[in-house]
Amino acid sequence: MGIGMNGPEDPGGRPSTPLHVPVLLETSLDLLAPALERDRPTTVVDATLGLGGHAEALLARFPRVTLIGVDRDPAALRLAGERLAPFGARFRPAHAVYDRIPEVLDDLGVEAVDGALFDLGVSSMQLDEDDRGFSYARDVPLDMRMDPGEPRTAETIVNEYAANDLARIFRVYGEERLADRYARAIVRAREATPVRGSAALVDILEAATPAALKSRGHVGKRVFQALRIEVNRELEVLERAVPNALDRISTGGRIVVLSYHSLEDRIVKRALAARTVSTAPRGLPVETDETAPTFRMLTRGAPKAADAEVERNPRAASVRLRAAERIRGDHRTA
C-alpha cells in the first residue's frame, strides 16, 4: 500500500507524491530475488496489493513468477486488476484481510509460496477519496473502513465508545499525549449532537488542545490514526498475519515487510525474532531440530529509505524494512 500510519499529506489532505510510487521498490525486489529466481516457476504473495505498484514491478522483473494479490478493499482489487491485466493468469487476486493468507492459499490450491511482501499502512487511493473518510484535513464522513463491506465505522466509535475506551485507543494506537482530554471532550460534545464528520471532530480536538501544544502539528493526526487502526483492527490483524505468512513460505523463500510506525514495526520484529533465534535452553550442548531457528534475518535492524528516495517520495520518510529467509523446516517437511 505504501502510506504509513502517519503518512504525509499536503495542506489539502491529499498525498504529496504521485499515487504510483512504491516505497523501497528496488530494495524489496532485490531482497526477494534469490527466492524468486529459481530454476522453476515460483509464487509470491503480495499481502497488501493496494494499487499494484509493487506487484507490477515483481511480475515484470521475474517472468516465471505467479503473484497472488491480497486486499480487503474491493476497489483496490478492481483497479489493480486493470493495471495487472497484461500479465494474464500470472496475477491471481484474492479479496481477503491479509491474516487469512493460509485460507487464500488453500482456496487457490497453493501449498507454499516462495516470497511474501507486506507494505503496511493506508493506501494513497483510500486517503484521496473523500467518501472513504480517512482525511483529517478535509471535511469528510467519519468512515475509515478499508473494506466498505465491514459494519463498523469511525463514526460508530466516536459516538458510541465510552470515554475510557476512546482514551485507550488514542493513547495506545495514536500515542496521543492528550488522549484522556480528547476523549472527555468528544463525549461532552456528542451529548449535545452526534459527531458526524471529520471537520466536527477536528473542531472538538482544536477546542480541547492547550494553546501551547497547537504548534506540534495537526491536532487530528494521532486521533485519526488511532481511529483508523481501531476500525480496521490493523494491529491485531498484523499480529496474526506475519506468523501465518511465515508458516507458508518454502525453504529458501523470503519475506519482506515495510512498516511505517513503531507499533507496526514492533509486531513485525517480534514475529521474525520468534523464528530466527534458537528456542533451546541456555547451555544445551546440541541444537535439536525442534529448537533450531527456521529463518535467518536478511537485514540488520530496520533499514530506512535513503535520503535521495525520501526527497523523491516523502512517503518513504517513516518506512522501516525487515526481511528474513526460511532456512529449514517448511510446513511440508515439518
Q: Are strands 249-259 and 91-95 parallel, antiparallel or unpaired?
A: unpaired
Residues forming a β-bridge with 141:
197
Ligand-binding site membership of 4 (annotated): no
Ligand-binding site membership of 225 (annotated): no
Q: Note whether 179 and 167 are within 8 A (CB).
A: yes
DSSP for 149-209, written as a single string = TSS--HHHHHHHS-HHHHHHHHHHHH--TTHHHHHHHHHHHHHHS---BHHHHHHHHHHHS
**113, three cell numbers:** 509460496
Nearest to 53 by CA among 73, 80, 27: 80
Ligand-binding site membership of 143 (annotated): no
Sheet containing 91-95: give its strands across.
91-95, 65-71, 42-46, 113-119, 249-259, 320-326, 295-297
What does the buried/exposed string (b/e) look like for 22-44 if buried means 16 or more CB atoms within 10 Å of the residue's CB? bbbbebbbebbeebbeeeeebbb
Looking at residue 331, the DSSP 8-state letter turns out to be: T
Ligand-binding site membership of 52 (annotated): yes
Ligand-binding site membership of 53 (annotated): yes
Ligand-binding site membership of 71 (annotated): yes
Calculate the alpha carbon distances from 238 to 47, 52, 62, 195, 248 in Å. 11, 20, 27, 29, 16
Residue 270, Cα to own-chain centre: how many angstroms? 16
Q: Note whether 67 and 58 are within 8 A (CB).
A: yes
Q: Note whether 52 and 69 are within 8 A (CB).
A: yes
DSSP for 70-85, written as a single string = EES-HHHHHHHHHHHG
Instruction: Return d(Cα 53, Cα 305) in angstroms, integer.
Output: 17
Calculate the alpha carbon distances from 235 to 61, 98, 188, 229, 313 in Å. 31, 12, 29, 7, 25
Phi, psi of 71 (to 5 degrees): -155, 145
Ligand-binding site membership of 119 (annotated): yes
**Residue numbering of the annotated binding site for S-adenosyl-L-methionine:** 52-54, 71, 98, 119, 126
**Residue numbering of the annotated binding site:** 52-54, 71, 98, 119, 126
